[in-house]
Amino acid sequence: MQPAVGDYIVFGLLAAGVIGGAVFTMTRRNPVTAVMSLVGTFFALAATYASLSAHFLAIIQILVYAGAIMVLFIFVVMILNREEVAPVALRGLGLRSLGVAAGIYLVIIFARIVRVNTPSDLPVPSETFGTVASIGDILFRDFLYPFEAISLLLLVAVVGGVVVSRSHKKEVAAEQAAERRKIVEELQRHDFPALADNAAEPHGSGGHH
Amino acid sequence: MPTYYYLTLSFVLFLVGTSGVLLRRNALIVLMGIELQLNAGNLAFLAFSRQLGDQKGHAFAFIIIALAAAEAAVGLAILVALFRSRQTINLDEASLMKR
């Protein structure tokens, strides 16, 4: 099946959207703008998946990536939004242009290799290629064990995320209370009961017991 | 479209994500670069899947998307914890494990 001219135009538009969105994401100073252009990149990628007859994956891409993951990103960006003073680590025009040149060289070499080693025409896909029914069949027959493992991984990741990101105020308060108790004991051992009373009162709330 | 167009697109996308991961100092943008890299991998899986007429690549891509969700959840939680302990998400200032 040789591609028509329209196919090339559509692919060119999608590729421009994907690469442009990705470059825009990586070069923005403001993280909110970066997240928004990343959402645009994921929409263009979903369209590219659909052009590869992967309709189910295209829908999942929009639901999970552009929906769920990006909402998570936006929440965190809004919690920790800080404008950067100097966003890029690499200094000096020489190093940067060297990096760009190396990247372009890599792309050319890679494109040559895959061009020689992959057939130049795509086979016509079967009727059921990329449908929910056939992917579900594979997922629950051949990939049942990885599917269950990934559900366990998601559970662990969510619990781990909650544990890592929760506030540690209570632990810090308990640590400080233990410290204070130690000081009180020390002072009492050295026969300074008045000072010990003072130390036992955390913020000088006044009044002797 | 021939498969190597998609593979080249995937490679360029991976390169853009990698340069973001290596060059940016903002940890949020670095996480976005990792998402771009995972998506480039997905695109390559789907392109090969279409070329070979085998839908196992779709199952792989599905699992990678779930993995990316887990990675984003844990990564962002670590960022929030990092910000709590030192009021910055600049990776140059967060090079030590201790406070």
* pLDDT of A86: 59
**Does residue A62 sit in helix, strand or coil?**
helix
- Both structure tokens of A54: 């992967």
**What CA–CA distance (Å, rounded) separates A35 from A11?**
24
Q: pLDDT at position A115, please?
A: 82
Q: For position B13, what pLDDT does the model report?
A: 94
Which tokens sit at A178? Answer: 């233990």
Query: Can you give the pLDDT at residue B59?
Result: 92
Percent residues over pLDDT 90 in chain B: 53
How many angstroms separate the CA atoms of A77 and B58, rounded?
31
List the single best residue of A2, A25, A74 to mutate versus B (max B Cβ within 10 A): A25
Mutation target among A79, A90, A147, A164 for the B interface, most CBs of B within 10 A: A164
Residue A195 pLDDT > 80: no
pLDDT value, residue A98: 85
Q: What is the pTM of this model?
A: 0.81
Q: Hey, which CATH number is domain B3-86, 1.10.287.3510, 3.30.750.210, 3.40.190.10, 3.90.1200.10?
A: 1.10.287.3510
**How many other C-beta atoms can be found within 10 angstroms of the C-beta atom of residue B18?**
17
Q: Are A37 and B34 in contact (CB under 8 A)?
A: no
Across the interface, whether the CB atoms of B79 and A80 are under 8 A apart is answered yes
pLDDT of A207 over the 60 cut: no
The torsion region of residue A53 among left (phi > 0), alpha (psi -120 to 50) and beta comes to left
Residue A172 pLDDT level (bands cut at 50, 70, 90): confident
pLDDT for res A126: 78
Which amino acid, A16?
Answer: A
Give the ranges where A52-168 is alpha helix by DSSP (H). Answer: 55-60, 70-79, 93-117, 132-141, 144-165
Q: What are the angstrom distances between the C-alpha of B78 and each of A15, B73, B89, B98? A: 33, 9, 10, 14
Res A23: pLDDT: 93
Predicted local distance difference test score (pLDDT) of residue A89: 57
- The pLDDT tens digits of the residues spanning A18-69 come to 999 999 999 888 888 999 999 999 999 999 999 988 889 999 999 998 888 9
pLDDT score for A206:
45
User: Which tokens is A171 given?
Assistant: 């632990």
Mean pLDDT of chain A: 83
Give the closest of B23, B43, B80 to A89, CB-based.
B23
Please say if the pLDDT value at position A94 is more than 50.
yes
End-to-end CA distance of chain B: 53
pLDDT of residue A101: 87
Q: Which residues of A touch B20 (CB under 8 A)?
A: 25-26
Phi-psi region of A39 (alpha: psi -120 to 50; beta: other; left: phi over 0): alpha
Domain ranges of chain B: 3-86
> Which tokens in the block code for residue A41?
């990149």
- A 66-105 residues inside an 8 A Cβ radius of B: 68-69, 72-73, 76-77, 79-80, 82, 84, 86-90, 99, 103
Per-residue pLDDT of chain B (99 residues; tens, 9 = 90+): 788 889 999 999 999 999 888 888 888 899 999 999 999 999 999 999 988 888 899 999 999 999 999 999 999 998 888 888 878 788 877 777 666
Q: Which of B13, B56, B62 sits opposite A18 (nearest CB)?
A: B13
Please judge whether B36 and A41 are an interchain contact, meaning their C-beta atoms are less than 8 angstroms apart.
Answer: yes
Percent of chain A whose predicted confidence (pLDDT) is above 70: 84
Integer-rounded Cα radius of gyration of chain A: 29
